[in-house]
Amino acid sequence: MKLYQYDHCPFCVRADMIANYKGIGHENVYLLNDDEQTCHELINVKMVPILQFDDGTAMGESLDIVKELDRLGKPEKVLRPEQNHPFVMAHIDKVSLSINCLLFPRYILLGLPEFETQNAKDYFQRRKEADIGRSFQQAFAESSEHRHHVEKMLAELPTPDLPSQHGDTIGWDDILIYPTLRNLTAVKDIQIPAGIRQYISEVTSVTDSHTYYSRAI
């Protein structure tokens, strides 16, 4: 079984964290960001993550992949039902532009496998500059302003339940909330409240994921 993905992609993080949590052996295949051909060959559209089964068939859509891996994985690794993720995500989404202005320019500087070529970086930059309505250079120059908005949001964000409060299990809320919070660790010196840091740390450990603290920019 293979998971085609990008390291920075929050939708891909969803798939990888559930595969690890449920103990499903799989190969992570990191595509270059400008590799449209592989995606089209597998699912007829440029989209990641892609789950390819051992018989060669493949599926897209991260939440569909999560449901399938939850079904296939170890039954004792319970995925707790949804609780309050709509409230938490609505809170985070209020500063989505600032989050993207912080993260998009940094992704191509982190040494991630999907950006190993200049063409892949340029492909990503062209599309994401259109999304945020400014150049990466401008967005990076505005980092203090965007960091202020995001830090204010984080300071007001209720700490999600910790895995340790539920027998080291994760739930659907974590699948939806954790990837965005994890990616914010790519921003050097961003002030993340202690409770949120502990949440990131515990989910990272339980799902064998990784953060960007050590390479933050």
Paired tokens of 114: 């999907």
Q: Which of 18, 48, 79 is the last residue of a domain?
A: 79
Q: Same domain, yes or no, for 191 and 101?
A: yes
Q: For residue range 7-52, list pLDDT tens digits in order.
A: 999 999 999 999 999 999 999 999 999 999 999 999 999 999 999 9
Q: Same domain for 30 and 90?
A: no
Is the same domain home to 22 and 106?
Answer: no
Instruction: Indicate whether 87 pLDDT > 90.
Output: no
Confidence (pTM)? 0.95
Residues 175 and 85 in one domain: yes
Residues 55 and 91 in one domain: no
What CATH number is given to the structural domain containing 40? 3.40.30.10
Of the pLDDT bands very low, low, confident and very high (cuts 50, 70, 90), residue 97 is very high
* Residue 96, both tokens: 């989505």
169 and 110 co-located in one domain: yes
- Given 38, 62, 79, the domain boundary residue is 79
Q: Do residues 125 and 178 both lie within one domain?
A: yes
CATH at residue 181: 1.20.1050.10
- Final residue in a domain of this structure, among 55, 79, 103: 79
Torsion angle of C-alpha atoms 9, 85, 191, 214, degrees rounded to 10: -30
Same domain, residue pair 92 and 148:
yes
pLDDT at residue 102 greater than cutoff 90: yes
Looking at residues 100-112, what average pLDDT do you find?
98
Which of 188, 98, 106, 196 has the alpha carbon at shortest distance from 150?
98
For the residues 106-118, what does the mean pLDDT come to? 98
Q: Choose among 164, 146, 144, 153: nearest CA to 204.
A: 164
Task: Give 186-198 pLDDT, tens digit per residue.
Answer: 999 999 999 999 9
User: pLDDT class for 124, splitting at 50, 70, 90?
Assistant: very high
- 210 lies in the same domain as 175: yes
Number of domains in the chain: 2
Sign for the CA dihedral angle at 124, 130, 136, 140 comes to negative
The verdict on 140 and 164 lying in the same domain is yes
Question: Whole domain around residue 70: which residue ranges?
Answer: 2-79
- Residue 127 has a pLDDT of 98
Tell me the sheet residues that pair with 3.
28, 51
Q: Write phi, then psi, for 31 (nearest 5 degrees).
A: -85, 150
What pLDDT is stored for residue 15 in this prediction?
A: 97
Determine the angle formed by the axes of helices 96-107 and 143-156, rounding to 10 degrees: 130
Mark whether 149 and 210 lie in a shared domain. Answer: yes
Q: Specify whether 73 is located in the same domain as 93.
A: no
